[in-house]
Structure 1
Amino acid sequence: MAKSTSSSKKSAFSPAALFKRLGLRDVNPGVFNGKWTGNGKVINSISPIDGKVLGKVKQATAEEYETSVQAAVKAYESWRNVPAPRRGEIIRQLGNALRAAKKDLGQLVSLEAGKITAEGEGEVQEMIDICDFAVGLSRQLYGLTIASERPQHRMMEQWHPLGVVGVITSFNFPIAVWSWNSALAAVCGNSVIWKPSGQTPLTAIATTKIAEKVCRDNNIDPAIFTLVSGDAETVGNRMTNDRRLPLISATGSTRMGRQVGEVVSKRLGRSLLELGGNNAIIVTPSASMDLAVRGIVFGAVGTAGQRCTSTRRVFAHESILPQLTERLVSAYKQVRIGNPLESGVLMGPLISTRAVDAMQTAIKELQREGGKVLYGGELLSGAQFPGGRYVRPCIASAKGDYKIVHEETFAPILYLIPYNNLDEAIAQNNAVPQGLSSAIFTNEMREAEQFLTCCGSDCGIANVNIGTSGAEIGGAFGGDKDTGGGRESGSDSWKAYMRRQTVTINYSTQLPLAQGIQFGS
């Protein structure tokens, strides 16, 4: 690792040329429903790298929202009749188009979301991977044949598309989350209407342009991938209340998820919620210290602590806590902070000055409760840190029952907490309201197995000798409790985007009833 200063080597690329290659302009329509429009409020996309405006986006009006939903419904009515393997072929081509645009789109993610280059391109790779995954699923939308209790009857289940799937995404994964939903929803025969984060609208527009071209090249109605940029009042609230959208998949804060879930449930719709995470790593005396340090640093510092799977709590056995603390502080001192587009930088800025303020408030609350900052936490200033959004990642000593430790602060704060026995550590891992990701570093089989039992971690993701962050698309992603209960990707993820229908066929000349019921003579 390099020293914790910004690299002096400047990035060698032109934002103007990048925008041209991706079809972006200084002012961009933020609505796509088969055609590009946008007559609502104009917002600025501000780069967290330097606080400067990247471009402007014209958001949707209420009328454009309505037009867009109508276009998505019409597109669905045609798309659902396309054979599923053919739908998979379109998604295969989308994956290839994303491969061709990987570097450009990855740089745009870095510009707009502040991720380092490797993470920006990694997000696009997630999109490519989920497209490949969805292509395979397009030939595996299986139903079961079920033994009927009635003679000369056949019973089976089959799966049909839902309709228009609403997708609401957050700034920290501005395009990958859309693909996790839209690739699977599309091969299942649905159309998708997307409300992107208002902090990262340009990546959404560039991605939609790529999907549009794939559709047009195949004479497919491009409104299967509809984009509606807008605020909560104009777009978000309308989506959650709209009965034409049977499923709302929303990624964001627990507060937002509660609102979405309540509104959607009142109209008896479905919601797929990916919400907060307060993820912990347990480090036992038998653990490989090298592995644990690497896993903790990436989990806590990656994306500047702004992943839902970021590591926020570490429970270290009291016998190894001093050594682990020393190793972590040493590693943190070597984290190079600065412009995420520069070579060698490992941590970029927070998304906004508001996020910086939230981090400082959390540190003050920690200290008020008796915790101690062991390293970092301060705002960085100077010419190499423009825009007021750069911080030094923080390591703090804490106790597991601190109120602030039970809250999710979307920033690079890592709480180090001692434990005496594994039962205690698992109990503290499970004591927070959130239940997304968890991990244990150990070389003892019994400890690993205990962590993975029904009496172990209560999170949707449980890892052994791997950190909490960096999930693969092959496994179901999501968690329980305040994380919302949703699952994306994984073996049966397609079922969330379809409706199940039970079918019984009588090929006899009689009409026997189930349960042996006799009706009439």
Structure 2
Amino acid sequence: MNKLGNYVGGNWITGDGDGQLLYNAVTGEPFAAASSKGLDFKAMTEYARKVGNPALRKMSFHERGRMLRAVALHLQQHLPEFYDISFRSGATKADSWIDIEGGIGNLFSYASLRRRFPNESFAVDGESHNLSKENSFMGTHILVPKEGVAIHINAFNFPVWGMLEKVAVNWLAGMPAIVKPATVTSYLTEAVVREIINSGILPDGALQLICGSAGDLLDHVQSQDVVTFTGSASTGLMLRSHPAILRESVPFNMEADSLNCIVLGKDVMPGSPEWDIFIKEVRKEMTVKAGQKCTAIRRIFVPENKMEDVWKGIATALQQTTIGNPLNKNVRMGSLAGQTQKQEVIEQVTKLLAGSQLVYGSLDSVEVVDADATKGAFISPLLIINENPFENTASHDVEAFGPVSTIMPYKNDDEAIELSRMGKGSLVSSIVTADSALARKYIMGAGAWHGRILVLDKNCAKESTGHGSPLPLLVHGGPGRAGGGEEMGGIRGVKHYMQRVAIQGSPDMITSITNQYQAGAAGLHDDVHPFRKYFEDLKVGEQLITGRRTITEGDIANFANLSWDHFYAHTDHTSLEGTLFEKPVAHGYFILSAAAGLFVDSSARGPVLLNYGLDELRFVKPVYAGATIMVRFTCKEKIEQEKKLDTDIPKGIVKWLVEVMDQTGEQVAIATILTMVQKKN
């Protein structure tokens, strides 16, 4: 019997004893065992903190992002073997695609997100604030990686995605991970981790794996650690209440199974595109992964006059779903992950049926293809009707974690909203409607109770990722029963693994610390125009004080004719009474253009390749004919850019603070412009 390995302290170790047997969910045959008995969990956490954390912390966001991309590319080379192993869990090819390639997709997404961060090991977070009258004291916030380890305790339903969607975020933030997958499907997680380790891409200590019990792992958490959990609300409550987590104030991010719902809008009629979309979405969410998804639809809310049409439509769609061995190309729904899961589903459905009735499927039998229904963990899709959802509340309290959904009626919009809330918090809700007013009302009424709301209609259905698909750039989590946590969410997710620190000091000091120019800091001056310098030679804080230009009435008139902007404030002397202006005012965009004429070096071709864009622009004081302007032009920040092709010109992006002042020394405009600047090499 093959025994799974645990990756601990840079070595593969098999646990002591026989371990827990792992079964093929389709055939019922045991094929492996998992044990973590004898592992030193305290040593694992110390290894992560002392070896993995310093290695990742010293890397920049860009280096970490490139590391993620390299891992993703390596895993893509081993997809066939991952799929072969995944079939043992009862997953079809489509189910496995979500888990395996969906997980790898998270690595790619977060690798790309590196461009939203500086090429530093830390990041400035938000705006800076002047805290003094004479601009000598200021404050801002920075994000630095926590000095601990991210401990991920994952569910059985997504052994690859569940791991990769979390480690992608903590690695980009600069923290190592210890991954503890659910034992029943840990064989697939182990196979993926082996390939990650074989690649040699990660620094030592960045990843460790436990296949088996977590033992006393949580006894050793410290204040700099982060713990995440995916699974049942009851287990999550137990872990969240662990004395060490409470004592050390360890951040605990929980994503719990929830009673997600879908609402059929009252405007949707049989035969309409939205009707077909609704039926298709329910069928998909009941049968993908055999309903073993934390985001699957458990509650279906339908206008009371359409109940019969809807349940018959869903039943017809379910009848077309072939169940059986996922290796058979005709099979669209495989088995549950094991006999234990099957028994738990049956027990929960029995509770639901105490106040409801089964209108499709059977608890006792199921027709399967190329498999033995008694040996494999197969179960029929089960559609239940609860005619009195406000009285029979089991549908809002009991979750059967399989291909099970309950359909319930509502009388009006307010009832639909109230029913959705009765789940006490979910990961996701959907509403199918073509009525934007109805969609808005539902979101405003139900939004506080759901982590994500999908509005489905014919305009987005073709490209929609669907009710049950969390996305890397959007938060995945929900309030109340769903755990109250957030995963992924793009930059938001990265911040969960970093400490936000408010730093205060002089503008010069904060500029030096952050490597971003802060208003009020002293500028750096030399005789070479900044546009004559290559990217590497430019220094943050480098400053140019330009010559002056007097704005004339002719300038204003000419710009109006050139731009076709004849807004009255620029051109009509007779219409200014009662306005903000004393006389015709110069166009703001003319002032910016005139400023560019002052700071641009036009003497000869130089390293500046092009104007890349404008981040911020404010016109803070009117400029009238006769005013004289000048510019303080400062290198604010430098952003590395990678070559996509060997033939690309090596370059970076430079952000410049443009401060336009008039003859009184007051600002009339302020902007951040970006230029693309060539590198020497």
Same fold by TM-score greater than 0.5: yes
**Between 179-188 and 469-478, the greater mean CA deviation after superposition:** 469-478
Q: Against the structure 1 CA distance between its residues 412 and 44, is the aligned structure 2 distance closer, same or farther, given a 3 Å change threshold? A: same
Q: Indicate the structure with greater helix content.
A: 1
CA distance in structure 2 between the partners assigned to 1:346 and 1:275 by the alignment: 26
8 Å Cα contact 2:223/2:249 also seen in 1: no
CA distance in structure 2 between the partners assigned to 1:240 and 1:138 by the alignment: 34
Specify the alignment match of 2:140 in structure 1.
156
CA distance in structure 2 between the partners assigned to 1:490 and 1:148 by the alignment: 30
Specify the alignment match of 2:494 in structure 1.
494
Alignment of 1:160-239 (within 5 A): 160-162=144-146, 163-214=148-199, 216=200, 218=201, 220-232=202-214, 234=215, 237-239=216-218
SS of corresponding position for 1:200? helix
CA distance in structure 2 between the partners assigned to 1:457 and 1:350 by the alignment: 32
CA distance in structure 2 between the partners assigned to 1:343 and 1:481 by the alignment: 40
Specify the alignment match of 1:305 in structure 2.
291
Specify the alignment match of 1:480 in structure 2.
479
Specify the alignment match of 2:380 in structure 1.
392
8 Å Cα contact 2:45/2:220 also seen in 1: no
Return the match for 1:127 from 103, 119, 122.
103
8 Å Cα contact 1:285/1:319 also seen in 2: no
8 Å Cα contact 2:15/2:34 also seen in 1: no
- TM-fit CA distance, 1:241: 4.8
- Using CA pairs below 8 Å that are at least 6 residues apart, which structure has the higher relative contact order? 1
CA distance in structure 1 between the partners assigned to 2:212 and 2:67 by the alignment: 28
8 Å Cα contact 2:286/2:405 also seen in 1: yes
**Between 195-204 and 386-395, the greater mean CA deviation after superposition:** 386-395
Q: What are the superposed Cα offsets for residues 252-307 of structure 1, whole Å, 9 maximum, x if unpaired?
A: 10011111222223321101111121011111232321100000111122111110
Specify the alignment match of 1:242 in structure 2.
221
Q: What are the superposed Cα offsets for residues 84-116 of structure 1, whole Å, 9 maximum, x if unpaired?
A: 2111111110110122222321332231x3211
Q: Against the structure 1 CA distance between its residues 71 and 500, is the aligned structure 2 distance closer, same or farther, given a 3 Å change threshold? A: same
Specify the alignment match of 2:656 in structure 1.
none
Is 1:427 the counterpart of 2:418? The answer is: yes
Is 1:316 the counterpart of 2:302? The answer is: yes
Is 1:458 the counterpart of 2:449? The answer is: yes
CA distance in structure 1 between the partners assigned to 2:400 and 2:446 by the alignment: 27
8 Å Cα contact 1:166/1:248 also seen in 2: yes
Q: What are the superposed Cα offsets for residues 9-54 of structure 1, whole Å, 9 maximum, x if unpaired?
A: xxxxxxxxxxxxxxxx923322333111123342222121111122
8 Å Cα contact 1:240/1:260 also seen in 2: no
1:156 is matched by which residue type in structure 2?
Answer: T
8 Å Cα contact 1:175/1:204 also seen in 2: yes
- TM-fit CA distance, 1:507: 6.2
Q: Against the structure 1 CA distance between its residues 202 and 508, is the aligned structure 2 distance closer, same or farther, given a 3 Å change threshold? A: closer
Return the match for 2:259 from 275, 278, 300.
278
SS of corresponding position for 1:125? helix
- TM-fit CA distance, 1:222: 3.5
Gaps of 5+ in 2: 118-122, 269-273, 510-681
- TM-fit CA distance, 1:376: 0.5
CA distance in structure 1 between the partners assigned to 2:211 and 2:37 by the alignment: 6
SS of corresponding position for 1:368? coil
Specify the alignment match of 1:418 in structure 2.
409
Alignment of 1:290-301 (within 5 A): 290-301=276-287
CA distance in structure 2 between the partners assigned to 1:330 and 1:457 by the alignment: 34
Q: What are the superposed Cα offsets for residues 57-81 of structure 1, whole Å, 9 maximum, x if unpaired?
A: 3424242x23322221222122211
CA distance in structure 1 between the partners assigned to 2:110 and 2:138 by the alignment: 30
Is 1:439 the counterpart of 2:430? The answer is: yes
1:445 is matched by which residue type in structure 2?
Answer: S
Specify the alignment match of 2:75 in structure 1.
98
Is 1:51 the counterpart of 2:28? The answer is: yes
Q: What are the superposed Cα offsets for residues 129-175 of structure 1, whole Å, 9 maximum, x if unpaired?
A: 21112112333344234122123123221111112111111100112
**Between 38-47 and 247-256, the greater mean CA deviation after superposition:** 38-47
1:391 is matched by which residue type in structure 2?
Answer: I
Specify the alignment match of 2:234 in structure 1.
255
Between Structure 1 and Structure 2, whose CA radius of gyration is higher? 2
Q: Against the structure 1 CA distance between its residues 358 and 29, is the aligned structure 2 distance closer, same or farther, given a 3 Å change threshold? A: closer
Q: Percent identity between the aligned chains? A: 20
SS of corresponding position for 1:414? strand
8 Å Cα contact 1:178/1:194 also seen in 2: yes
Specify the alignment match of 2:94 in structure 1.
118
SS of corresponding position for 1:453? helix
CA distance in structure 1 between the partners assigned to 2:260 and 2:159 by the alignment: 21
Specify the alignment match of 1:404 in structure 2.
394
Return the match for 1:372 from 321, 341, 357.
357
CA distance in structure 1 between the partners assigned to 2:4 and 2:257 by the alignment: 31
What's the Cα RMSD here?
Answer: 2.2
Q: Against the structure 1 CA distance between its residues 487 and 107, is the aligned structure 2 distance closer, same or farther, given a 3 Å change threshold? A: farther
1:423 is matched by which residue type in structure 2?
Answer: D
CA distance in structure 2 between the partners assigned to 1:164 and 1:67 by the alignment: 12
2:29 is matched by which residue type in structure 1?
Answer: K
8 Å Cα contact 1:299/1:310 also seen in 2: yes
2:7 is matched by which residue type in structure 1?
Answer: V
- TM-fit CA distance, 1:244: 6.5
8 Å Cα contact 2:103/2:165 also seen in 1: yes
CA distance in structure 2 between the partners assigned to 1:230 and 1:258 by the alignment: 20
Alignment of 1:509-520 (within 5 A): none
Q: Against the structure 1 CA distance between its residues 39 and 326, is the aligned structure 2 distance closer, same or farther, given a 3 Å change threshold? A: closer
2:177 is matched by which residue type in structure 1?
Answer: V
CA distance in structure 2 between the partners assigned to 1:126 and 1:54 by the alignment: 26
CA distance in structure 2 between the partners assigned to 1:285 and 1:377 by the alignment: 30
- TM-fit CA distance, 1:333: 1.2
**Between 466-475 and 173-182, the greater mean CA deviation after superposition:** 466-475
1:471 is matched by which residue type in structure 2?
Answer: P
8 Å Cα contact 2:3/2:14 also seen in 1: no
Q: What are the superposed Cα offsets for residues 320-368 of structure 1, whole Å, 9 maximum, x if unpaired?
A: 2111111111111111111122212111112232322233233333332
1:425 is matched by which residue type in structure 2?
Answer: A
1:282 is matched by which residue type in structure 2?
Answer: V
2:153 is matched by which residue type in structure 1?
Answer: I
Gaps of 5+ in 1: 1-24, 510-521
CA distance in structure 1 between the partners assigned to 2:313 and 2:448 by the alignment: 26
2:168 is matched by which residue type in structure 1?
Answer: A
Specify the alignment match of 1:77 in structure 2.
54
**Between 258-267 and 88-97, the greater mean CA deviation after superposition:** 258-267
SS of corresponding position for 2:449? coil
- TM-fit CA distance, 1:445: 1.5
8 Å Cα contact 1:426/1:456 also seen in 2: no
CA distance in structure 1 between the partners assigned to 2:301 and 2:446 by the alignment: 17
8 Å Cα contact 2:431/2:439 also seen in 1: yes
8 Å Cα contact 1:395/1:416 also seen in 2: yes
CA distance in structure 1 between the partners assigned to 2:403 and 2:219 by the alignment: 32
Q: Against the structure 1 CA distance between its residues 110 and 421, is the aligned structure 2 distance closer, same or farther, given a 3 Å change threshold? A: same
2:36 is matched by which residue type in structure 1?
Answer: Q
CA distance in structure 2 between the partners assigned to 1:422 and 1:457 by the alignment: 16
1:497 is matched by which residue type in structure 2?
Answer: Y
